[in-house]
Amino acid sequence: MKTTYAAEEIHALLPHRYPFALVDRIIDYVPGKQATGIKNVTFNEPHFQGHFPGHPLMPGVLIVEAMAQVGGVVLSQIEGVEGLCVFAGIDKVRFRRPVVPGDQLIMTVELLAIKRMRFGKMRGRAEVDGQLACEGELMFSVVDR
């Protein structure tokens, strides 16, 4: 059973491409349950030009999107889930520390529920150096491509 994925393998599972491919590696994968992924945050990313000049911070929406992409690795491999997985909502999201260039964001996303292979909920947690950066619940819907 495969438990890790390199960038090329993630690209085979998810439709996201630069500049919106936000997962560099999956370091732990439990089929149908959860995955842990890494995002290496670099100063060269386009959003840092304007967020914020002289004080670059990774936008919270991109941290949440990165967690969702880790969840997408789990969803894309569940038998019966066919189509494009998109956000249906987010709940209880909190940002606990800034994420800056040079950080390595480690995100663990757990599948909580899936209904009729079309809707569901996941819990995500993102950390930097063992410190909680973001956490929350992510709802998804599977739509036809």
Would you please indicate which residues are annotated as catalytic (active-site) residues?
51
Identity (one letter) of the amino acid at 80? Answer: G
Residue 76 tokens read as: 């894309």
Side-chain half-sphere of 113: how many Cα atoms within 13 Å? 7
Which residues, at least 6 apart from 97, have a Cβ–Cβ distance to it below 8 Å? 128, 131, 132, 133
Which residues, at least 6 apart from 8, have a Cβ–Cβ distance to it below 8 Å? none
- Cβ atoms within 10 Å, residue 52: 10
C-alpha to C-alpha distance for 142 and 86, rounded to whole angstroms? 6
